[in-house]
Structures are given as C-alpha cells and as structure tokens.
Amino acid sequence: MLQCVFLLSDSGEVMVEKQMTAHRVDRAICGWFWEYVLAHAAGDPSKVLQVVVSPTHYLFQVYRHGVTFLACTQVEMPPLMAIEILDEMMDNGFPLTTEPNILKEMIAQPNIVSKMLNVVTGKSSAIGNKLPDATASFVHWRTTVVKDASNEAYVSIVEELDACVNREGVLVKCEACGDIVVNSSLPGVPELTLSFANPTIINDVRFHPCVRFRPWESSQILSFVPPDGQFKLMSYRVKKLKTTPIYVKPQLSSDLGNCRVNVMVGIRNDPGKPIDSITVQFQLPPLIASADLTANHGTVDILADQTCLWTIGHIPKDKAPSLSGNLRLEEGLAHLHVFPTFQVKFRIMGVALSGLQIDRLEVKNTPSAPYKGFRAQTQAGRYEVRS
C-alpha cells in the first residue's frame, strides 16, 4: 500500500507532499533520505538505488531534471506500482480504477471552456466532482453513454513472426505472437460473439476483462460486452510454424585481412499478398577498419553505431535483391573470428501467417444491424539469421 509521495529539490527541500492514506508519513523521512544520499552518493540522487530501505519505511525514488520523486510505504510491494501508478487510479493507497474509459470520465480533457472557467473560478483541477456511473456497473470497462456511436465494429488480427535460422540455413524456431484488436463504436450495451475457424492452433491466450471465460473454455468462443473505442481483446501465440515468407542467405568468407560479404533475399513461401517494408540489418563485427557494401536493389547505409542497414522495400519480380562487398580487417588480422547475426523486418497486409481465421462476428442488443469489418496484418518480430 502506497502511503505518501514527496517531491524533493536538489537541496533536499520538500516542494510537494501527497498523503495517500489517513496514516500520515512524517516529513522527517525526507531528512533521513537526504542524509542517505549525502553518505552513499556524495549528494547526487541520480546515483542512489531506486529502492532504499529505511528503519521505518521502504522508499522508492526516481530522479529527473533536478527533482526527486520519493514514494513511501511500510509494507513490501512491487517497486513499479509505486513509481508508475497514477494518483487518479488510487483509493486509500490501493489501485482501484484502471479502466481507461472510467479515467476519461473522471479526468476531463482540457479545452478552451474549461480553461476560461478555471481562470474565473480559480479552480485548476480537471477531476470531476462525482464518480462515473460505470464504476458501479457490472461492465465497468464501458462508458454508460456512448456519444456519436456510428454503429460499427472492426476486428483486426495483428501478428508478429519470430523466427531463428541457424548458419546451415535450417529453421530452428518459428512462431507467431498475435493480438485480436477490436474497434467498437456501438450504441447501448451490445453483446458480441466472435468465433474462429481454427481455434485449436492457438496457445498461451490472454483476455481483456470483458471476455467471459466459460464460453471460451467450453467452445472456444469469445463472448463479451466491448469497451467503447479500440482495445486489445485477446493475445495469443501459435507455435511450430513450418516456414517463413522470405529467405535471407548470408555468405561470409575471410582471408588475408579481407572479408567477402554476400547476402541474398527472396520469397520462400508466397503469402498471396504483397510483402513490403523489408529491411536487413547487422552489426559490423569488431576490428573492422572499413566497409564497402553495395546492393542491386534498395539502399545500404552504415549507421553511427556501426550497424549496416539494407532497406529493400519490396522484392521485384525480375531479380532477387542481393548485397555484396568487402569488410577490411584491422592491421594484423588475417581472418574474421566473430560473424554477425542478421535481423530481418517485413510487413504483410491482409494475411495472418499463423493461419488463424475469423469465422464470424455476431452483434446483438443494438437498435439496428451494425457494419462489421475485418482485416489482418503480419510483420516481423524477432527474425534472426545467423551466419
């Protein structure tokens, strides 16, 4: 339970104090903390650990731009809870309200009218005087009155492909990590049911709180009352995929202080949709004196951190993109002993490479039949090719 937050200046003076609970924390704890800073970090708060244990409290501190944010508690708790959580989400020191829709109702967005009222009335708080009605609702993730509902619902499958290819060109790992993203603009309290054509392929599922678990457990059907706007309905993973949409074949050979580089890229398994935003990058090995690399398609750049970035874009139909050139080793080195790992990026619109397919989306409890849209997208996550 978080009890108090202090803001300290560079001299240790308390500038702001926020008591979270009825049990007040004495400011003397700030004096103890500043003595700790002087003794252990020569007066530099940036060099102090973020979690400090005093004789009476656990202290969590973050130093930014000359200001120290100091949070206090008397019980053990996750440090990130004290450092990252918002004041509006707390009740008596405990996280209570975490749903974005309720927070938006509680904290009004600034506009010209509110600024003029603040000037006239002298008030500066944007927090409402009463709790939103949704806090007492069984669907607290949804606002009670949806404004400007266009009676539409869109479902997107967004996937990232993680793959690893060893130096022999063998695919040793390939899996897709995906999200089901819903953008809902429906009036009232709609009931949605989403089903898949092949739900058995997915593993490691995680759900938004709106999803009813029993229908999924019994029939692999997602039944839910959606929040208003865009949200992540479900996350999943599909393991042991057999192939990747593109291949990257690097060849490196070194002798007499020179390393010859040749990299070829092409389509391995055509997904039926254009593959674009293709890039291949690798870190230049240490002890490289100079690099001379060119490509027959796209551009090659050597970045300031000694990363070689080959921007391909798309693969033309008339030729396979290739990169070639030489890496000159430093004086006295005959062979390259550390070989780079190639990082591959791409994007495919309109297809989920895992093979997951949406069967149907049913919408009930709306005044009229809504418009429903579906789309899919796959991009490279951690796709590595070792040389």
CATH of the domain at 79: 3.30.450.60
Instruction: Give the C-alpha separation, 257 to 216, whole Å.
Output: 61
Output the pLDDT for position 191.
Answer: 94
DSSP state at residue 107: B
Res. 172: pLDDT tops 80: yes
Res. 330: pLDDT tops 90: no
- pLDDT average, residue stretch 349-353: 96
Q: Quick one: which of 343, 259, 333 has its CA closest to 303? A: 343
Q: Tell me if 252 is assigned to some domain.
A: yes
Residues 16 and 89 in one domain: yes
- 6, 23 contact by CB (below 8 A): no
Output the pLDDT for position 313.
Answer: 95
Output the pLDDT for position 12.
Answer: 75
Task: Determine phi and psi for 375, rounding to 5 degrees.
Answer: -155, 165
Output the pLDDT for position 174.
Answer: 96
Question: Which has the minimum average pLDDT: 55-64, 98-107, 166-175?
Answer: 98-107
List, for residues 115-158, the tens digit of each pLDDT value.
666 656 655 555 555 555 555 556 777 776 676 689 999 999 99
Type of residue found at 54: S
Instruction: Give the C-alpha separation, 346 to 172, whole Å.
Output: 19
- pLDDT average, residue stretch 38-67: 86
Residues 253 and 315 in one domain: yes
Instruction: Give the C-alpha separation, 204 to 220, whole Å.
Output: 13
List, for residues 56-86, the tens digit of each pLDDT value.
888 888 888 888 888 888 888 777 666 556 4
Residues 214 and 292 in one domain: no
Question: Which has the minimum average pLDDT: 6-15, 357-366, 369-378?
Answer: 6-15
Instruction: Give the C-alpha separation, 4 to 22, whole Å.
Output: 10
b (16+ CB within 10 A) / e for 75-98: eeeeeebbeebeeeebeebeeebe
Choose between 386 and 132: higher pLDDT: 386
Q: Is 261 exposed, middle or buried (0-12, 13-18, 19+ CB in 10 A)?
A: buried
Residues 280 and 212 in one domain: no
Domain around 182: 152-242+353-386
Output the pLDDT for position 115.
Answer: 60
Type of residue found at 36: Y
Residues 254 and 333 in one domain: yes
Output the pLDDT for position 149.
Answer: 80
Output the pLDDT for position 160.
Answer: 96
Res. 88: pLDDT tops 70: no
Provide the number of structural domains found in the chain: 3
Question: Which has the minimum average pLDDT: 6-20, 65-79, 96-110, 313-327?
Answer: 96-110
Res. 373: pLDDT tops 70: yes
User: Could you tell me the pLDDT band of residue 233, with boundaries at 50, 70 and 90?
Assistant: very high
Instruction: Give the C-alpha separation, 132 to 210, whole Å.
Output: 18
Res. 311: pLDDT tops 70: yes
Percent of the chain residues topping a pLDDT of 90: 49
DSSP string, 234-290: EEEEE------SEEEEEEEEEETTEEEEEEEEEESS--SS-EEEEEEEEEPPTTEEE
List, for residues 262-285, the tens digit of each pLDDT value.
999 999 999 999 999 999 999 998
DSSP string, 350-369: T--TT---EEEEEEESSSSP
CATH of the domain at 326: 2.60.40.1170
Residues 373 and 230 in one domain: yes
